[in-house]
Amino acid sequence: MATWQCVKNCGACCQLSPSDRPELADYLSADDLAGYLSMVGADGWCIHYDQITRECTIYETRPSFCRVTAETFQAMFDIEPEALDEFAIDCCQQQIAGVYGDDSLEMSRFNQAIAEPQIDS
């Protein structure tokens, strides 16, 4: 079974345009929704996202809704821990397709990464 992982130089999930995420209020608390909306830049990208390096500039203190953990996904989407990989992979693929396209390099790199055996560090 594929194991979810984030790939460097993607950043698709940091494109936050609310128009592309009509169900935000269904899974974010009122406080988190307000925090989310406060991060949306004029071009839809998160104001904390460096579009040159494709990195989060507040990575260590990023909000909980930016973190792919069993706890956050259970809280937001009612996903059981054993279903996290499949659900998170689907989320990433949807977001990457929407931002970069189905045939993008980013999609290829993501699909390759999740297909590779994981090495514990």
d(CA 97, CA 32): 25
**84 forms part of the interface with ligand SF4 (CB under 6 A):** no
**73 forms part of the interface with ligand SF4 (CB under 6 A):** no
**14 forms part of the interface with ligand SF4 (CB under 6 A):** yes
Which one, of 42, 38, 50, lies nearest residue 14 by Cα?
50
Window of 24-32, 73-81, 92-100 that interacts with ligand SF4 by CB under 6 A: 92-100
Q: Hey, what are 94's tokens?
A: 């949807």
Element holding 71 (H helix, E strand): helix 70-77
User: For binding to ligand SF4 (CB under 6 A), which residues are involved?
Assistant: 6-7, 10-14, 16, 39, 46, 48-49, 56, 58, 62, 66, 92, 95-96, 110
